[in-house]
Amino acid sequence: MTKEEMIGSMAQSSGISKKQATEALTAFMEGITGQLQKGEKVSFAGFGTFAVSHRKARTGRNPQTGAAIDIPATNVPVFRAGKNLKEAVRK
């Protein structure tokens, strides 16, 4: 599902315009992004949790040449599905 398809689905199921659905989805994504940038978790009971995970610096290999390369430490977003979401997908 693309962002445009999600907007259409939100608009149809909630009875709002596509413009309002676009604004709502944009605000939702910006809210989650802002909290993750601060290092905070965003949790929706039964659905899941968005969080930030820290990856340590490490040494990797260039697959073409086999040369060692340094991979810097970085923060990455992670999503852990909640119980209700897992059960819904398993059916």
Strand order in the sheet with 48-55: 42-44, 48-55, 74-81
Looking at every residue in the chain, the average pLDDT score rounds to 95
Residue 60 near residue 71, CB atoms below 8 Å: yes
Q: What are phi and psi of 26, to 5 degrees?
A: -65, -45
Q: Write down the pLDDT at residue 30.
A: 97
d(CA 16, CA 80): 30
Question: Tens of pLDDT along 4-40?
Answer: 999 999 999 999 999 999 999 999 999 999 999 999 9
d(CA 45, CA 59): 38
Burial of 10 (0-12, 13-18, 19+ CB in 10 A): middle
For each of the domains in the chain, give its residue range(s) and CATH number, in order of start. 3-90 (4.10.520.10)
The percentage of residues in the chain with a pLDDT greater than 90, rounded to a whole number, is 99
Token readout for 3 is 């962002």
The percentage of residues in the chain with a pLDDT greater than 70, rounded to a whole number, is 100
AA identity, residue 5: E
Q: Write down the pLDDT at residue 91.
A: 79
Place of tokens 């897992």: 86
